[in-house]
Amino acid sequence: MVECYWPGITEGQVRELLDRSGLAGRFSSQTGVRPLGSFLVPSDGMVIFLFEGTSPAAIREAAALAEVPFDRIVEFQHIMAGESPSRCGSSEM
């Protein structure tokens, strides 16, 4: 999960960042990273990008290549409502 504090960020800017460096919805052979989407909170000037990658370093590199002005990168787990723990998936950073 790549957190960005970016006052004034727009949906168009988020989409542009996701499209940069061939990142749009697939693994990049250059970085080993695939974007999963984002959460935009325009009222707080914040966007969270979700990426799947081979390592934290790969995600940091992909974010830098795409010129994502991130504040921090942290691992996350996506836990769906109503699923048992054995069926919950996780995504690496």
pLDDT digits (tens, 9 = 90+) for 44-56: 999 998 888 888 8
Question: What is the structure's pLDDT at 24?
Answer: 55
pLDDT above 90: residue 40:
yes
Residues 56-73, mean pLDDT to the nearest whole number:
84
Query: What pLDDT does residue 63 have?
Result: 81
- 88: confidence class by pLDDT, cuts 50, 70, 90: very low
Within-domain flag for 23: yes
Range of the domain at 18: 2-87
* CATH number, domain with residue 23: 3.30.70.3090
Does some domain include residue 28? Answer: yes
Would you say residue 42 lies in a domain? yes
Nearest to 46 by CA among 90, 76, 1: 1
Position 64 in a domain: yes
In a domain, residue 92? The reply is: no
For the chain, strand residue ranges (E) read 2-5, 33-41, 46-53, 72-73
Helix, strand, coil percentages in the chain from 3-state DSSP, rounded to 5 = 30, 25, 45
Average the pLDDT over 31-37 and give the result.
Answer: 81
Name which residue leads in pLDDT, 22 or 92.
22
**What is the number of domains present in the chain?**
1
Decide: 47 and 39 in contact? Cβ < 8 Å: yes
